Structure 1
Amino acid sequence: MKTILLLILSNVFMTFAWYGHLRWFPEAKDKPAPLFLVILLSWGIAFFEYCFQVPGNRIGRNHEGFTTGQLKVMQEIITLVVFVVFSWTFLKEPLAWNYFVAFGLMVAAAFFVFAV
């Protein structure tokens, strides 16, 4: 359970690092944000992602008994869920049918990695 919480937190930070600038610094023809500043901001946010991701994977592997394959599938499912929530709430983008198909395929992946 600790692994899942840490991976969720790491994904929230990484999603903001990768995509938050699209809302904070939208492309403006008259005065675009300097790319190097946007990159530095993203790196600063990504630092916190690693502060949760590395311990999450280490705890999951060494103390909670997950395999690296299970950790990777868990990470991808969490990434997709966090991204959809972020995209829908923060970027105000609509959910499309393909998101739900992707969810279904991730559930199938989780089944094969954890149950078989």
Structure 2
Amino acid sequence: MFPTAPVFTIVLLLLSNIFMTFAWYGHLKFKAAPLYVVILVSWGIALFEYCFQVPANRIGYGYFNAAQLKTIQEIITLSVFVLFSVFYLGEAFHWKQGIGFAFIALGAFFIFTK
């Protein structure tokens, strides 16, 4: 059974954001790598990010409006980034970040409320 447009959109945005997070922040563990190498590798990873993100928005638009698509993307981005920063970069998650993300989630609530 083929997933519905909202489910497919969210799955594609999740995959997109995983690639995006590695493209933008994965190099932070490799400080010795030359900047030009980091840029080229990041571009290569970002290509895959776009291969998921563009179809996600194309499929989701119509079911979601543009503001809702962007809101879904940002919530997924923050969720992926928290896991990435804790498990890949080894950074601690502070309660103040949780409060900040909660306010962003509150904003998302208003975006989706009719």
2:7 pairs with 1:9: no
Deviation at 1:66, TM superposition (A): 0.2
In 1, the alpha carbon distance for the partners of 2:96 and 2:40 equals 32
Q: Deviations for 1:63-108, whole angstroms, at most 9, x for unmatched residues? A: xx10000001111111100000000000000001222112211221
Unpaired segments of 5 or more residues in structure 2? 1-6
Give the 3-state SS of the residue equivalent to 1:20 in structure 2.
helix
In 1, the alpha carbon distance for the partners of 2:8 and 2:48 equals 17
2:63 pairs with 1:57: no
In 2, the alpha carbon distance for the partners of 1:73 and 1:102 equals 15
Give the 3-state SS of the residue equivalent to 1:95 in structure 2.
coil
Q: Quote the residue 1:19 is aligned against.
A: 25
Report runs of 4+ in structure 1 exceeding 4 Å deviation: none
1:1-116 alignment runs, 5 A limit: 1-23=7-29, 25-26=30-31, 32-62=32-62, 65-116=63-114
Alignment: residue pair count? 108
TM-score (norm 1): 0.89
In 2, the alpha carbon distance for the partners of 1:9 and 1:96 equals 25
Aligned Cα root-mean-square deviation (Å): 1.0
